[in-house]
Amino acid sequence: MFVFSENSAYFLTLLSGISRIIGSIPTLATILSMSDTHTPSLVLGSASPRRRALLRRLGVCFETLPVETREIHNAADPVGTVVHNALAKQVPCRALRPDACIITADTLVWFDGRLFGKPRDLDEAADFLRAFSGRT
């Protein structure tokens, strides 16, 4: 989990599933060295274009397995929220690919006691930016 704090803004990101790189599951070094001819043992449980791009930039062979989950947004527990949301993605991915190293994540911004997720549209994105303007 990564937590960045600046003037009451907390950027929370959780990557879960890394601990599964043990036992019969290939090591991260093995996964990173795999060529495109191998079946990926690394699964990204996300539809995020940004997360896919980050893994591609690393030259990692991976499979994308986006799953539909119901996310929660609990401003009283921002860390619990991202943990819950990332694990909610992990469970169906694990059922489909039990032997893979699975990366799932959730990213939220917690600012002034309010959680900000992905904006629904450009108007909401503009509202978010106005809320942060001059305060971070």
Cα–Cα distance for residue pair 50/46, rounded to 1 Å? 10
pLDDT in tens, 17-34: 333 333 344 555 555 555
Buried b / exposed e along 75-113 (16+ C-beta atoms within 10 A): eeebeebbbbbbbbbbeebbeebeebbbbbbbbbbbbee
Closest CA to 18 of 111, 110, 90: 90
In terms of C-beta density within 10 A (0-12 exposed, 13-18 middle, 19 or more buried), how is residue 44 classed? buried
CATH classification number, 2-132, choose in 3.90.950.10, 3.30.360.10, 1.10.3720.10, 3.40.50.1860: 3.90.950.10
The DSSP letter of residue 87 is: H
Parse the chain into domains and list their residue ranges: 2-132
Cβ 81 vs Cβ 108: under 8 Å: yes
| 1-15, 26-40, 43-57, 109-123: least confident range | 1-15
Q: What is the pTM of this model?
A: 0.66
In terms of C-beta density within 10 A (0-12 exposed, 13-18 middle, 19 or more buried), how is residue 45 classed? buried
Cα–Cα distance for residue pair 91/106, rounded to 1 Å? 14
pLDDT in tens, 84-108: 999 999 999 999 999 899 999 998 9
**Catalytically active residues, by annotation:** 106
**Is the confidence at residue 44, as pLDDT, over 80?**
yes
Cα–Cα distance for residue pair 89/97, rounded to 1 Å? 12
